[in-house]
Amino acid sequence: MRIYTLNRKQVITKALDNVFPFFTKAENLALITPPSLAFRVLTPSPIAMERGRIIDYTIRMVGMEVRWRSMITAYEPPLHFVDEQIMGPYSFWHHSHTFERLGKETLMHDCVRYALPLCLAGMPRDLAHRLYVRPNLEHIFDYRRDVIASMFGCGDAPASNGAAQPETPMRELPA
């Protein structure tokens, strides 16, 4: 299975204690997801963020509504949490959200590792990744960056690698 990685970093001009709670509310995902994806949380609110929490939602992909189920597999407030796809469009999805105090600011780092099904719409997975999946994921995270900047304010981000490239072997995030 080929694993791709998307890394994004963003400096938010608010303190960690003001930033982290927003990202732990699954209900806020729709606010930072492009409207064209028609993102909708199905799990009843309020959703208590904790390790083992399962969250169901739908997202529109290629004009079709797709059900997605995630589990929170790590939860270490206020510095880190991980959601992993249990059911959905990817063969593998591991999204690590890491937050770091930078004085009165916060460095937010998203690391998404993902794999595609064998083929998509009759297209080999590498071609589908290059033509559709990677550009769409980059669009989603660009939108997220812009919404977060307008909501919280942002400073200069450190070098951000938005490219989603094959990764061999899989790397672990630094501790």
Q: Is the pLDDT of residue 163 over 80?
A: no
Domain coordinates in residue numbering, the chain: 3-164
In angstroms, how far is the first alpha carbon of the chain from the final one?
Answer: 26
DSSP structural state of residue 133: I
Angstrom CA distances, 75 to 12, 61, 84, stand at 21, 28, 12
The pLDDT, as a whole number, for residue 154 is 79
CATH of region 3-164: 3.30.530.20
The pLDDT, as a whole number, for residue 123 is 72
The pLDDT, as a whole number, for residue 121 is 60
Strand partners, 94: 84, 113
